[in-house]
Amino acid sequence: MKAMILAAGRGERLRPLTDDLPKPLLPIAGRPLIEYHLLKLAGAGMSEVVINHGPLGHLIEDALGDGARYGLTIHYSAEGDHPLETGGGLMKALPVLGGRPFAVVNADLWTDCSFTRLCNEPSGLAHLVLVPNPPHRPEGDFCLMPDKRVGNEGEDRYTYSGMAVLHPRLFAGCWPGRFPLGPLLRDAAERGEVTGDVYEGVWIDVGSPERLEHARCIAALQQQS
């Protein structure tokens, strides 16, 4: 199975740290954040990864190279100064990702979740890893039903973690350009074509200076243990 790391976000809330450095390259315990994802994908048995990038994206390519030192082949999907958002970025990369389901990981998350759970093909159009709602997103994104189907309405709500397995058919009917992934997932969930599971371990959306520092503290503690 191939994988894609979504790394084109500008990181506005992390400025000035991201003025001269893409968010995926911010250091966590001595290693760029995105490197943890690459190592975990390789550890899960994946061999090809697509990374999209936006402003300052050449720095990501310079830092990671062709992926050989991680045991991977890295393909880059450059989006320039006007990134295509999650949906548009994924659609642009579909020719490289191929016709089979693929894993997706947001570059700006910190987790101890094993990526082996991203190695199984979904029964529908998508399988989402959900997490308990963090303080900055108390309303959540989706509900999870007893049969593991993901829905849009319900009491047991969870937040989408930024980790998933998607089928290329999810993008059927989409036109190239800039658009988010969320509406596609919600439409597919409404049709009963999305499944999910809940991960309750360490997961941080590294989207603010405070959450970045939290991730760094946890990573430092993990290195000491």
Over 90: is that where the pLDDT of 122 sits?
Answer: yes
Q: Where are the alpha helices (DSSP H) in 75-208?
A: 85-97, 182-190
The per-residue pLDDT for 12 is 81
Enumerate residues 6+ apart whose C-beta is below 8 A from 215. 28, 33, 110, 204, 206
Query: Per residue in 67-90, pLDDT tens?
Result: 999 999 999 999 998 999 999 999
Compute φ and ψ for 99, nearest 5 degrees: -95, 0
Enumerate residues 6+ apart whose C-beta is below 8 A from 112. 201, 202, 222
The per-residue pLDDT for 179 is 97
* Portion of the chain with pLDDT greater than 90, in percent: 88
Query: Per residue in 12-71, pLDDT tens?
Result: 888 888 899 999 999 999 999 999 999 999 999 999 999 999 999 999 999 999 999 999
- What's the rounded Cα separation, in Å, for the pair 13 and 9? 11
The per-residue pLDDT for 177 is 95
3-state secondary structure of 52: strand
β-partners of residue 160 are 130
Output the average pLDDT for the chain. 95
Domains of the chain, by residue range, sit at 3-224
Third-level CATH fold of 3-224: Spore Coat Polysaccharide Biosynthesis Protein SpsA; Chain A (3.90.550)
Query: Per residue in 144-159, pLDDT tens?
Result: 999 999 999 988 899 9
The per-residue pLDDT for 203 is 97
The per-residue pLDDT for 156 is 87
The per-residue pLDDT for 192 is 96
Higher confidence at residue 204 or residue 11?
204
Structure tokens at 192: 């009963």
